[in-house]
Homo-oligomer: A and B are copies of this chain.
Amino acid sequence: MTDKKTIKVETTFSGAGYIPNLAIDVVIFGFHDKQLKVLLMKYNRTEFYALPGGFIKNNENLDTAAMRVALERTGLTDVFLEQFYVFGDINRYDPTPFAAIMEANDTKPDKDHFLLQRFISIGYFALVDFTKVTPTPDKLFDSCNWYELNAMPALIQDHTSIINKALETLRAKLDDKLIGFNLLEENFTMGELQNLYETILDKKLLRPAFQRKILALGILERIAKKYSGAAHKAPYLYRFVSK
């Protein structure tokens, strides 16, 4: 993961080979303990928290760059990824955190350094199976960890509003597109799926209605019963099957 070739932000990073003024930020959502979580990075020797992000190589597709960022932080290939908005106000980009980060890592950047310019950022969100993720920092980061949405540290720049916009998009697309399954393990119970929906939409749903609505979509396959050892009827396990 910390292979030198894949490190995208180094304090000695000059920006050569990358498109200037353009960044990618990826909101990586996971679901665990009935909570929706996002992956956040903390820069070395600072209190700056940020979304996983990166830049676009001169010869790289946009989606490939986003996938690369997701891979670097989660260890997962083949992640569900979707572009959702571009953040391009002039005043969104404040160079002072980056200047401070570089100084904390003993680098003195020029005033016109690649990283201190204005950046326009393309927002992607990723939906991943929490249990399969290995949160992975690299040289520039003290940590890479999951945070509950309502227990996040302050983030640099407009990253908090990027997360909010991502969540808004996720909510809107949850119903017409069938993307929720990407947040669960391969096999799951109807209760787990309902939990996920309730968490994302932040409201209670009626169990019978939910069960019928989801099954009526005809995209779930009933696998087997899941005996948890608890003293109640064992729920069925389902698996997503696309046609």
Contacts and interface: CB of A to CB of B under 8 A. Distances in A.
A117 to B, nearest CB: 9
A66 to B, nearest CB: 10
A100 interface: no
Contacts of A19: 20-22, 118, 120
Given A20-B20, A58-B118, 20 more contacts: A19-B21, A19-B22, A19-B118, A20-B21, A21-B21, A21-B22, A22-B22, A22-B120, A56-B88, A56-B120, A60-B90, A61-B90, A62-B86, A62-B88, A62-B89, A62-B120, A63-B88, A63-B89, A86-B86, A88-B122
A44 interface: no
Interface string A107-122: 0000000000010101
Interface of A: 19-22, 56, 58-63, 83, 85-86, 88-90, 118, 120, 122
A20 B22 CA distance: 9
B83 A85 contact: yes
